[in-house]
Structure 1
């Protein structure tokens, strides 16, 4: 089994911009690249699970999303980091258009994307994390039985009170989470 960090994309890896889909609008969140590099050194693999209701609403296409995700991976690979796979939910139950207006099991906080990643990459639930900036990320992590982590980037600050109630660890960004996790590994003797 493999240990993984399952990541939300918008507000966690990249700066939150409503319905981001253009490469020219993309920018990494502070500490994201450094955090991913450190987590990779600790032996984690990465998968992304992202709600993309902009597709459902007709703001951009699945092809636009795939193009941006490929660009993100190209940038990260130059830094020695690889996202194994980007899973995305293109649906919205109320605001979707046509085939995208459905109740699905992939839209977080549902666990469809996480379950698919867990199966496909043989992910060790006990040793893995779901990191995101939104309550839906945290709820999906809890439901999928991986340890949830909230980052304060993106929408994270809006959910601090609820996370404190749930006892969910909170970090400034991915890098601060990775540094803390590295300390844990230093204290483990094999």
Structure 2
């Protein structure tokens, strides 16, 4: 069995893709700014890329869970167009206030809980302590932190509440995914590390500004 390896965990809506609420139509999926460049960087690093995404639209009756197969396939195709490979995509279809009984319950995989990351680590031999979680809201940061990952917050205006907590303080703040990829690229260089919080993240109290 191969030794556990680091991975990059990516939120989907608002981080990888332009956020279209409750979208399960592959034809409406569009990369956010900086994503093609970021995927090219990640491909050069050879790091596994794993998408972890809350898809409460299933529990809320907005679309059927089977439609996520098309979303996953479209993500893989979009990654391939950038020379990158999608190692896996995990979706939480649950919501405690859902209307679809099979998905209407509290779970351990809905971010900010880390269940999706733990499952990915088991199934893909991932070393969570050496991995990264990148997202556009603090629930993504918290999920990554609870799993033991380093965290990067994409400050693109999608986080509006800024609820503080011990797991909700990102290690790094960036403007887009390409900046996050450049940071991880630098941290992966021999003798380098980016595991300590950035100055901007350390100094922020409330809504941070990307460094």
TM-score > 0.5 by shorter chain: yes
Residues 18-62 of structure 1: CA deviation (Å, up to 9, x unaligned): 111112221101111211220221231111111000111111111
1:84 is aligned to 87
- Between Structure 1 and Structure 2, the one with more helix by share is 1
2:128 pairs with 1:105: no
Is residue 93 of structure 1 aligned with residue 93 of structure 2?
no
2:64 pairs with one of 46, 61, 65: 61
Distance (Å, rounded) in 2 between the aligned partners of 1:24 and 1:188? 43
| Partner SS state of residue 57, structure 2 | helix
Determine the structure 2 residue equivalent to 1:31: 34
Query: Tell me, which stretches of 5 or more residues in structure 1 are unaligned?
Result: none
Superposition CA RMSD, Å: 2.0
SS in 2 for 1:74: helix
Q: Which residue of 1 aligns with 2:187?
A: 184
Matched, 1:117 2:159: no
The answer on whether the counterparts of 1:12 and 1:132 sit within 8 Å (CA) in structure 2 is yes
**Helix, strand or coil: the match of 2:130?**
coil
Q: TM-score, normalised by structure 1?
A: 0.90
Relative to structure 1, the CA distance from residue 160 to residue 110 in structure 2 (aligned partners, 3 Å threshold; closer, same or farther) is: closer
**Structure 2 Cα separation of the partners of residues 52 and 167 of structure 1:** 23
Which residue number in structure 2 is paired with residue 10 of structure 1? 13
Question: What's the CA shift string for 1:118-176, capped at 9, x where partnerless?
Answer: 111111223210111111111111110011111123614x366859x825311111101
